Chain A
Amino acid sequence: MIEIKNLTKRFPDRRGGTVHALSEVDLTIADNEFVTVLGPSGCGKTTLLRAIAGLTGWDEGGILVDGEPVRAPGPERAMVFQNFALLPWATALDNVAFGLELRGEPRGRRHATARELIGLVGLDGFEDRLPGELSGGMQQRVGLARALAVQPRVLLMDEPFGALDEQTRRILQEELLTIWERRRLTVVFITHSIEEAVLLGDRVVLMSPRPGRIAETVPVDIPRPRSFDLHGLGRTEEFTTLTTHLWERLRTMHPDRVGAHR
């Protein structure tokens, strides 16, 4: 369980003022829950994720993961990065095994685990390729396998499919869901795509910018397993209602909506 209480993070801006990256964020995420965090750029959603990861500090409030306060990165949390963050000199297999290597697992054992996960993400036969020889979608599969290899209880995903083209993104969304159905774990998934947030999440946490705060939490009561293709989810009434509602909220807070209220 992740408990975020009154989380506030400020930093000085260039004109001597203060920017609230996060303001009094309260959020509790249950075990094995899939929470998507949606918001326009600058709403602090990535800052929130980095705080949970232990990569950045904050000024007030706190975060507990399974009752333990977060102070630094920990073995129960793994992260998938927007730009993949793979080691360009290491093969797909070594990249997947990297977290285990850092933990000092012997080569044979970590490679066995890595091979299994390479299979899980559908990259059989690509073990010895370098990231530069893989497509963006395949690179992110490696990123996902690397995260799952360390057997985290919490998976933090920072717009993981944001750098991919539409078709690749849909395929990876479905595969992520399939994997998550099989090995349940808590997922915090940052996105700026409304459809992605609704398709994947048990709840959509909508954040608004300046100061970054939670505007609304929307439960998604669409039955699982979900998939765009099989159930025509995109055309169901629940899906349309939710995405329309979220879009109504988002457009009012969008920074490009200059003068629209005049």
Chain B
Amino acid sequence: MTPRRGPLTLLPPLSGLLAGGVLWEGVSRTADAAFLPPLTEVLTRLAELTADGKILPSLLSSVINLVLGLAISLTLGLTLGTLMGRYRPAEAALGIYMYALLTAPSLVFAPVFFSLFGPGRTSIVAVVVMYSLFVIVITTASAVRDVPAQLLEMGRVYGAGERQLLFRVVLPAALPMAMAGIRLGVGRAVAGMINGEMFIAVVGLGQILTEAGGSFDSTTVLAVLLVVVTVALIAIGITHWADRRLNGWLPETSRT
């Protein structure tokens, strides 16, 4: 069932990375653009920053913001999404807010959180939630709505009450599609984390970014950006792993 993983499966992503790096290095050296330092310089700066002990503590602080925000988004998002997908009044009452907040630029709420929670961790976590919650709610709601009616009837015929129907039929059936929303939410949460740290409380990786940006130090900005992208990729990797564990029954061909 599972495809064989030989050394060859790593070849395409690695050659992709290598080509990107070569392109970056080449463009930067030939164009001589002031704000596009070569990759080698950026990597050197990253090593320096790490050695100075600047990256790791900030990274830890940022990751805590991310994890807290995502935990809240997942709990709230799956709950609200399930309610909206299964119960029409919940959809009618909440739907408009969810769609409005999904489309609204999430950062405009930063001042609100700032005034409510002050410049601390709470505000940043709130921004992370703001970025990631609504896509999870809306995908979960439509995943729950799309559960085949026949499975629900089957559940009822065999005596399932609403609670059993929800936990034994609806949620497992909706999970694969809900997972797609969760993956999107995780990506947006990383963006929320870094924006929150740049615009509200100047802490974590956002602090290094803001300071470096203020002094036009694009080498440092790009070095930190590499760290942020890595965090995002790891977070999405964990989501994929969870997806495979939970939805292993799905045939490989119907995966997104």
Contacts and interface: CB of A to CB of B under 8 A. Distances in A.
The size bracket of the interface on B is 20 to 34
Contacts of A132: 249, 251
A139 to B, nearest CB: 13
A99 B169 contact: no
Interface string B240-254: 000000010111000
A78 B158 contact: yes
Contacts of B155: 102
Interface residues of A, number: 26
A85 B172 CA distance: 14
B158 A99 contact: yes
A103 B159 CA distance: 7
B161 to A, nearest CB: 8
Contacts of A102: 155, 158-160, 164, 168
Contact of B154 (A72, A74, A79): A79
Nearest to B155: A102
Contacts of A103: 159
A115 interface: no
Interface in B191-232: none
B153 A85 contact: yes
B159 A75 contact: yes
B249 A88 contact: yes
B111 to A, nearest CB: 45
B172 A53 contact: no
A40 B61 CA distance: 68
A55 B250 CA distance: 29
Given A87-B169, A89-B249, A102-B164, A78 B157 contact: yes
A60 B73 CA distance: 49
A87 B151 contact: yes
A99 B159 contact: yes
B150 interface: yes
A79 B251 contact: no
A81 interface: yes
Interface of B: 148, 150-151, 153-160, 164, 168-169, 172-173, 247, 249-251
24 contacts: A50-B153, A55-B156, A72-B156, A73-B156, A73-B157, A73-B158, A75-B159, A78-B158, A79-B154, A79-B157, A81-B153, A81-B154, A85-B148, A87-B173, A88-B250, A89-B172, A89-B247, A98-B168, A102-B158, A102-B168, A130-B249, A132-B249, A132-B251, A146-B158
Given A50-B153, A75-B159, 10 more contacts: A55-B153, A72-B156, A73-B156, A79-B157, A85-B150, A88-B173, A88-B249, A101-B168, A102-B159, A132-B251
